[in-house]
Structure 1
Amino acid sequence: AQPFGFLSSVAEHVIAGDAAYARVVSQVGASLWRDAIDTKIIHELQNRTGQIIDTQASLRSPTGLLAGLDDLVVKTRPANFDQDGDGMPDDFERMHHLNPLDPTDRNGLNLSDQGYTNLEVYLASATRTVPEPNTTTLSLPGVISLLFAHQLRRRN
């Protein structure tokens, strides 16, 4: 029997711990735009002041506000942002020769040669998924396996 070769998927160009930490801190968050909670958690990470959160009360300010929820500013989009309500902004639809007044074009496959709907193509374009050049991404199961193996070695 051959040992499982999970290390074979490790990137050829391993980066130093400090560089990896900086990269993770610069790219983490609940969405593309960091909110008050993201900022708070990153601050706690960098200052090593984080703690277990077991109730929302521990996150509330002295005045009782829950940052990132109770202090949200209401933002309204213009009425013509998505006239057909298909989830794609009218500007995106016009740029890609779709009809901003036809809600069914969200299910079309004309923007992808890989079988993704037009809505999926739009949603993918609204997120950052650009990998670093000349790097390989580890899958989460691979990382967990690597960490688990490391913990086993430390115990033995």
Structure 2
Amino acid sequence: MNRTRIQAVAGAALVAAVATGCGSDSSDGAGAGQQKAGDQAVQQVDSAIQQATQSSPVTFSLEKADLTDQSKQTLATIAKAMQGNPVRLKVETHGGYANADMSKTLSQQRAQAISTELEQAGVTKDRIETDPKGNEKAQGSQALATQFSATS
């Protein structure tokens, strides 16, 4: 009889340990909830970026790194969407020159202009990742547009 009770208690303890993960896994209820909240924040910011850039893309004039007033407004909208959450922003810029060195330099200048504008709008530098592509992914008129993505 005692043996049956011990086996029942041990079995119940095993089921409880498996069900709770013994607390040794970082994906417990609180961790999973935090991850889900982080994912939701990324989705919300990404959605705001897509809406802002569809109606008013951040573009540059040919061979220039100056932001237009319209692009500055779009960046202010993106910065506002990033307030109150830890979401990071990846900014991909292009240069458009056939010459790789010239294109890389222009792409870096464009990335810096965007980063500076976002910082002035309240986004801390550590939340902005610039990825100046030069002429690796886009050339000509395609290189005038900037791509944004939210990350955690």
TM-score bracket, shorter-length normalisation: under 0.3
- After TM superposition, the score normalised by the length of structure 1 is 0.24
Structure number with greater CO (CA < 8 Å, separation at least 6) is 2
Give the structure with higher Rg (CA): 2
Structure number with the higher strand fraction is 2
Structure number with the higher helix fraction is 2
